[in-house]
Chains A and B, each alone.
Chain A
Amino acid sequence: MTEGLPLAGDAVGRLADVWVYLSASPLLGLSITLLVYQGAFLVYQRSGLHPLANPVALSVITLGALLWITNTPYATYFEGAQFVHFLLGPATVALAMPLFEQMARLKRLWLPMLGALVVGTLSATASAIGVAWALGASKETIASLAPKSVTAPVAMGIAEKIGGLPTLTAVLVVCTGILGAASARYVFDALRIQDPTVRGFALGTAAHGIGTARAFLVNPESGAFAGLAMGLCALFSAVALPLVAGFLLRWI
């Protein structure tokens, strides 16, 4: 240790030991994810649930910056964060509950919903592929973009099938969700669509879970329909997108 300041040197050494332990343990990644999210959610609430103060966007930027500053590899961070990521599965199963509560509506509106689902999903995929191709994106990027309006675990599977990068798809899925949740209000107002069932369903179709979270916060009825759309979109996309996107990708 340094001769002048043995105590300070000791303390720094101990701090370094603590950091070495924490940075290798999943506890840090998990707690920091939850802490940052709570902070981001507080900001979101303070802003009056402003769509542009999306808590996912704020959390991702903060956590990304933290990892970058501390030079922590994503794999190390994910060892802790995977416990949160894992809950996407049970949360998808949990969507059965709001669906069940909207059963009566569901039976009456199955045809409009089916139409919206097919048109919404296919037009989002085709426009993503088309625009990215026209602007000269690489084939891998285009394949990763194709399933971006599907919920993360499903989209990653589709991307893998059609030659994209699953981890890039996960990021693009999150970006899509944030964009959709942030812009939905303005799009629907511009189109003069007021019905909460339509607004919810379209948001769930185009912006999966992040759109669904937004819809639940604004109106529980829209939330249920957004959740339904997200579940149906995952089902439909898992079957149809590998075929449609695969076909489009072969042409470009």
Chain B
Amino acid sequence: MRCQFQAILCGQKTPTLLDKTGGREVWRAGYPVGMIPALTTLLVFQLIGEALVRALSLPIPGPVVGMALLLLMLVARPSLQHAIKPTTQTLLQHLSLLFVPAGVGVILHLQRLGDEALAIGVALVVSTLVGLASAALTMAWLMKRVAPLPPPPSLPADGSAP
């Protein structure tokens, strides 16, 4: 037990502590493991973010402040990542799902979208392409100038199948 904790403190890959009853992993690196503790962590950080935004009347959204705070926490306590990683991965893998309810709101605006279809459609397409191209070109250009270290070769993003 003692050496396990020592290994944990040194941040090594450690054998995990199992509970006696089912052999299920309940603690890892000093943090509870599982979906509920991870969700609690995320929600508490969002809550702190929202509270800070309201209290200081910041123009930034609460969840973004929560994200920044969680990132700081992870930097301060890297072992926390083991406790939240599986849940954050699941949540982010299905990020698209979370946009569906807002998207269905399209039925509220069919009238306006129909009346101004040309302007809205062209503006959406043009600005999205402009945004993609300008961000990519700016970053590629600055990377050549500022950080000329070539990145390791890997699969092209958004290219072929994964």
Residues of A bordering B, CB below 8 Å: 33-34, 36-37, 48-49, 51, 54-56, 59-60, 63-64, 67-68, 74, 77-78, 81-82, 84-85, 87-101, 103, 108-109, 111-113, 115-117, 119-121, 123-125, 127-129, 131-132, 135-138, 141, 145, 148-149, 152-154, 157, 165, 167-168, 170-177, 179-180, 183-185, 187-189, 191, 193-203, 205-207, 209-210, 212-219, 221-223, 227, 229, 231, 234-235, 238-239, 242
Measured between C-beta atoms, what is the minimum distance from B46 to chain A in Å?
5
Question: How many interface contacts (CB-CB < 8 Å) are there between A and B?
Answer: 379
Are the CB atoms of B143 and A145 closer together than 8 Å? no
Expressed in whole angstroms, the minimum distance between the Cβ of A152 and any Cβ of chain B is 5
Contact A215:B156 (CB < 8 A) given known A90-B43, A206-B132: no
Q: Tell me which residues across on chain A come within 8 A of B93, comparing CB atoms.
A: 213, 216-217
Is B100 a contact of A60 with CB atoms below 8 Å? yes
Tell me if A64 and B104 are in contact (CB < 8 A): yes
One of A112, A128, A167, A207 near B147 (C-beta < 8 A): A112
* A199 to B, closest residue via Cβ: B157
Cross-chain contact A137 with B88 (CB below 8 angstroms): no
A to B CB contacts below 8 Å, 9 in the list? A90-B46, A92-B67, A93-B46, A93-B49, A154-B64, A202-B136, A207-B131, A212-B95, A217-B93
Within 8 A of A (CB), among B71-129: 71, 73-75, 78, 81, 84-85, 87-89, 91-109, 112-113, 116, 118-120, 122-129
Q: How far is the CA of A217 from the CA of B158 in the complex (A)?
A: 8
B112 surroundings in chain A (CB, below 8 A): 141, 168
Q: Which of A56, A100, A157, A185 contacts B71 (CB 8 A)?
A: A100
B139, closest chain A residue (CB): A116
Question: Measured between alpha carbons, how far is A94 from B85 in the docked complex, in Å?
Answer: 9
Q: A49-B161, A97-B85, A124-B130 are in contact. Are A201 and B92 (CB under 8 A)?
A: no
In-complex Cβ contact of A202 among B105, B135, B162 (8 A): B135
One of A87, A221, A239 near B157 (C-beta < 8 A): A221
